[in-house]
Amino acid sequence: MNTVIESSRPVLLTMGDPCGIGPEIAVAAWSRDRGADLRLVGDTGVFRRALGLMGLDLPVAVLDRADDPAPPDCLPVWQPTGLPGDLLAQPLGQVSAAAGAAAARCIVAATQEQLAGRSRALVTAPIHKEALHAGGIDHPGHTELLQALCADADGRLPPVRMMLANDELRVVLVTIHVALRQAVDQITTGRVLQTIRIAEAALRRAGIAAPRIAVAGLNPHAGEGGLFGSEEIEHIAPAIAQARSLGIDASGPFAPDTVFMRARHTPPKRPGEFDVVVAMTHDQGLIPVKYLGVEEGVNVTLGLPLVRTSPDHGTAFDIAGSGRADPSSMSAAIRMARAMSA
């Protein structure tokens, strides 16, 4: 065996729901990458099974600590304490309380490692919200759980935003998982400005010195001067003006049906006019990104005191255990995590 590769402050990959495709795409992405900085967080037996499902004949290195050095060409796994002991008995492709509890435990343990400064970034495999709830977790998903884990000493939650990104387009959302009627009420000057500032700070951390931020309108044709709605006049435009007064290169509000095409980056033929689009609602922003393909899409949680990325897809229970899961989005999430934590 070759000399052990030293790697401080690793990138941690959580296994996700062990009954879904998370473990399969995690081991496949690691096999493609073989980076000395990567560590998998989860159940050793589940990862061994995933290796077999994906046709990978690799030894597993079981680590005592997440930041321990790992032998080359061995899948490096850190198994946190407190995982349920019967995970291999849970049927693949089905909701399981044990699987939900295990997924949450891995997220908590990996987040604690990063908050303690022992890792540089967190990449999370998909979880199942119903399984999470069955496992006794009150939070509906990754974002809310991570937000709670990153609360300050007084219990205040950090303001977070979702960014979906691929090689052609980046989108940051002002509102996320709320009913559309509620989302419209959440379009305020303060919330739009906060989203612009969070997006600008994240892109600067990712190496873009002066991010160009396009802000979409809410209504058809960005309200057409108030004919189709007043949110642009009352809230969105004032937020853009305040952002510009802070030295941020924000512009808009632009008609939502054309701004994403203007921002799409397809060099050398057509470089995008903007580095990111701030979208008002979940579907307004995610439809154009996902239309371009979820295979390379990455979900990034902005506003946390840590770097967290994930693949832009779910647990895919329908193909779990078949060995057909595509790790491309997980690989893209790893690349994004490295770039944002460089």
pLDDT digit string (tens) for 164-181?
A: 998 899 999 999 888 999
Read off the pLDDT of each residue in 104-122 and give the average, rounded to a whole number.
96
pLDDT band at residue 196 under the 50/70/90 scheme: very high
pLDDT of the residue at 339: 87
DSSP one-letter code for 88:
G
User: Rounded distance, CA 76 to CA 220, Å?
Assistant: 51
Residue 155 scores a pLDDT above 70: yes
- Range of lowest pLDDT (42-46, 154-158, 205-209): 205-209
Comparing C-alpha atoms, which of 255, 187, 192, 196 is closest to residue 227?
Answer: 255
pLDDT of the residue at 260: 97
pLDDT of the residue at 294: 67
| Percentage of residues in the chain having pLDDT higher than 90 | 84
Please, what is the average pLDDT of the chain? Answer: 93
Residue by residue, DSSP assigns 179-229 as: -HHHHHHT--HHHHHHHHHHHHHHHHHTT-SS-EEEEE-SSGGGGGGGTT-
Read off the pLDDT of each residue in 120-145 and give the average, rounded to a whole number.
92
pLDDT of the residue at 3: 35
User: Rounded distance, CA 327 to CA 297, Å?
Assistant: 11
Rounded to 5 degrees, φ, ψ at 153 are: -60, -25
Q: 3-state DSSP call for residue 73?
A: coil
pLDDT digit string (tens) for 240-261?
A: 999 999 999 999 999 999 999 9
Residue 1 scores a pLDDT above 90: no
Query: Among the ranges 76-80, 199-203, 335-339, which has the highest mean pLDDT value?
Result: 76-80
Taking the chain, what is the end-to-end CA distance rounded to the nearest angstrom?
30
Residue 122 scores a pLDDT above 80: yes
